[in-house]
Chains A and B, each alone.
Chain A
Amino acid sequence: MSTVTPNPERLDALKAAYASASAARRNRTLLGIAIFLAVMVGSAIVAEVNIGKLVAKFGNFTSYFERLAHLDSGALVTTDIGEWFWGLNHWLKLLAETLMIAYVGTIVGAVLGFLLCFPAARNLTRSAWEMAIVRRFLEFCRTVPEIVFALIFVVAFGLGPLPGVLAIAIHTTGALGKLFSEVVENIDMKPVDGILASGGNRVQVIRFAVVPQVLSNFLSYALLRFEINVRGAAIMGFVGAGGIGQDLLESVRKFYYSDVSAILLLIIATVFVIDMVTERARHALIGREAHR
């Protein structure tokens, strides 16, 4: 094995080049950190962040959860489950309503998103105008928070679950329409040409060339959206748009601590179950696709 004697001049040149390169990198990182800190401090001032207040009031946070764990009589909630969940039947009904708001909203949104995803997809749209208009519309639907739609709809349609359903449906249309159109843009175009070549019209192209390629992805996204919508439907009641949110808001405002914890637990349990079921279903869908 021969030893390599380094050429000192070359070594120095390399060292200098390395030093300047790493210095440039370091300067960039430092500049980035400085900008980041400036943004954070600015935001903290605007948002009236008060660490002292947080430290002073943090006891409230822990004691709030402590109060959540106690009944009016002062006993721990677990000592009297019947008393803790005294309104179980009523709450379960409201939870069922919440799930239905999410379900109906998801179905309406998924159907509208399905119809709008084809004009919004670059490869299947009929004109650039159509694509631009549909895309802007979908963007509007998903950028305005659903609870804002719900607020406006409550005034237009009256209190109750209907405005909640519509708000969720509109938001879902925007979100799924975009995701669906991205799936459609990634399809293999050969089947489309095939259907066109064998005399198919636009509907037949979508039915026989596009849908078989995208269906499992679409279903998976719709299930994911349903999961998100269950969470969204749980707060619709805050603005009077149905579901369990109204009872939660009232119990928080009226300091019925054990009711708050009971309702929160019910919501969390429901979300867990829905998460688990939809995750199973999504894995099954994607798995089936992989085996094909």
Chain B
Amino acid sequence: MTATTLRTLSAIAAQEAPRLRAAYPDVFRVDLKRRALTIGGIGLLVGLFALGLTMLETSWTRVFLGLGELGKFVVYMIPPDPGSWSKALVYLGALAETVAIAILGTVLAAILALPFGFLAARNVVPSWILRFLMRRSLDTIRSVDALIWALIWVNVVGLGPFAGVLAIMTSDFGTFGKLFSEAVEAADAKASEGIKSTGGSDLHQVRFGLLPQVLPLFASQVLYYIESNTRSATIIGIVGAGGIGLHLYEQIRTLEYQHVSFIIILVLAAVSLIDWVSSRLRFSVIGIRQT
């Protein structure tokens, strides 16, 4: 619609409004019950919010003082500067380690989760007890954050990136198990029925009926998670599990703001690069052209 038509219509509407209001009171009447419900709902949310603020001992003075400090930090952070070339190289090396942790952890998680994805799917395993146990154990693994897993793995294999790989692998194993089982359940049953009608065994049905349908989906999910895991991998260094997180943690603690902003920019660049590559690959895997 053009702007002029809109303006004309809008002028007419303004003229007509009082007459319409008088002619159709029902339409303009306020629904008190609905309004009360809305206000009540919002009131509940706001009340809980206020309760939270008092419980968490937030005070406006603290917020404003902190914001002032934060402003100073941002000024100190500019321009981002690693200090020396050797430092920059150290950070780049740590970044490569981070990316390697993310890729390896994600792929290992996917490989491990593959059989479990099928075992937790309704159309593959009809026994609900087995399925229930599978689902619950996957959920349990999933509800523990990668950082906590990293802490546990550091105790097992010692400090270093290997613990990080294992942490990413463990926490994503739960996620992939769930996602894969959902993809398997959403698969079209006709292909499997076709295989069955030509005399295929159960394994044949999975291999030729299900796998071709779900594999591209799995691959695209894995690619997607590599990107989000790059972000997780940047932080597991905080507990000593390798990657750039350790450097970030140390530089923040020692108040080297220019180093901090340099590292953050490195991370942002790496994440967007991986995002770009993985979305390219994802579109070529699932066969949809990028819009």
Taking Cβ atoms with an 8 Å cutoff, the residues of A that contact B are 39-40, 42-44, 46-50, 53-54, 57-58, 60-61, 64, 96-97, 100-101, 103-104, 107, 140, 143-145, 147-148, 151-153, 155-158, 160-163, 165, 193, 196-200, 231-232, 234-235, 238-239, 242, 248-249, 252, 264, 267-268, 271-272, 275
A104 close to B52 (CB less than 8 A): yes
Q: List 11 A-B contacts (CB under 8 A).
A: A49-B104, A53-B162, A57-B156, A147-B235, A197-B1, A197-B6, A264-B144, A264-B148, A267-B144, A268-B144, A272-B143
Interface majority SS on A: helix, strand, loop or mixed? Answer: helix
The residue of chain B having its C-beta at the shortest distance from the C-beta of A146 within the complex is: B235
Bound CA–CA A148/B73 (angstroms): 14
User: Would A48 and B139 be within 8 Å (CB), given that A104-B53, A147-B147, A152-B73 are in contact?
Assistant: no
Taking Cβ atoms with an 8 Å cutoff, the residues of B that contact A are 1, 5-6, 9-11, 13-14, 17, 45, 48-49, 51-53, 55-58, 62-63, 65-67, 69-70, 73, 96-97, 99-101, 103-104, 107, 139-140, 143-145, 147-148, 151-153, 155-158, 160-162, 164-166, 231-232, 234-235, 238-239, 242, 248-249, 252, 255, 260, 264, 267-268, 271-272
A46 close to B9 (CB less than 8 A): no
A107 close to B9 (CB less than 8 A): no
Bound CA–CA A153/B241 (angstroms): 23
Bound CA–CA A165/B158 (angstroms): 32
User: Would A252 and B235 be within 8 Å (CB), given that A104-B49, A199-B14, A242-B56 are in contact?
Assistant: no
B155 close to A156 (CB less than 8 A): no
B56 close to A48 (CB less than 8 A): no
Contacts of B153 in A (CB 8 A): 61
A162 close to B62 (CB less than 8 A): yes
A193 close to B1 (CB less than 8 A): yes
B272 close to A43 (CB less than 8 A): no
Bound CA–CA A9/B130 (angstroms): 56
Interface majority SS on B: helix, strand, loop or mixed? Answer: helix
Contacts of A100 in B (CB 8 A): 51-52, 55-56
Contact partner of B152 (CB less than 8 A), chosen from A64, A140, A160, A196, is: A64
Bound CA–CA A60/B153 (angstroms): 9
Contact partner of A153 (CB less than 8 A), chosen from B66, B96, B155, B158, is: B66
B238 close to A147 (CB less than 8 A): yes
A162 close to B56 (CB less than 8 A): yes
Cβ of A17 to closest chain B Cβ, rounded Å: 22
15 extra interchain contacts, Cβ-Cβ under 8 A, other than A47-B242, A193-B1, A275-B139? A46-B100, A47-B100, A47-B104, A48-B160, A54-B157, A61-B153, A64-B155, A107-B45, A143-B271, A144-B268, A147-B235, A156-B66, A157-B63, A161-B57, A199-B11
Contacts of A53 in B (CB 8 A): 157-158, 162
The residue of chain A having its C-beta at the shortest distance from the C-beta of B105 within the complex is: A47
Cβ of B235 to closest chain A Cβ, rounded Å: 5
Contacts of B67 in A (CB 8 A): 156
A198 close to B165 (CB less than 8 A): no
User: Would A145 and B100 be within 8 Å (CB), given that A64-B156, A155-B255, A252-B155 are in contact?
Assistant: no
A156 close to B70 (CB less than 8 A): yes
The residue of chain B having its C-beta at the shortest distance from the C-beta of A39 within the complex is: B103
Bound CA–CA A249/B45 (angstroms): 32
Cβ of A207 to closest chain B Cβ, rounded Å: 12
Cβ of A74 to closest chain B Cβ, rounded Å: 19
B55 close to A40 (CB less than 8 A): no
The residue of chain A having its C-beta at the shortest distance from the C-beta of B239 within the complex is: A238
User: Would A145 and B104 be within 8 Å (CB), given that A104-B49, A151-B248, A231-B143 are in contact?
Assistant: no
Cβ of B137 to closest chain A Cβ, rounded Å: 11
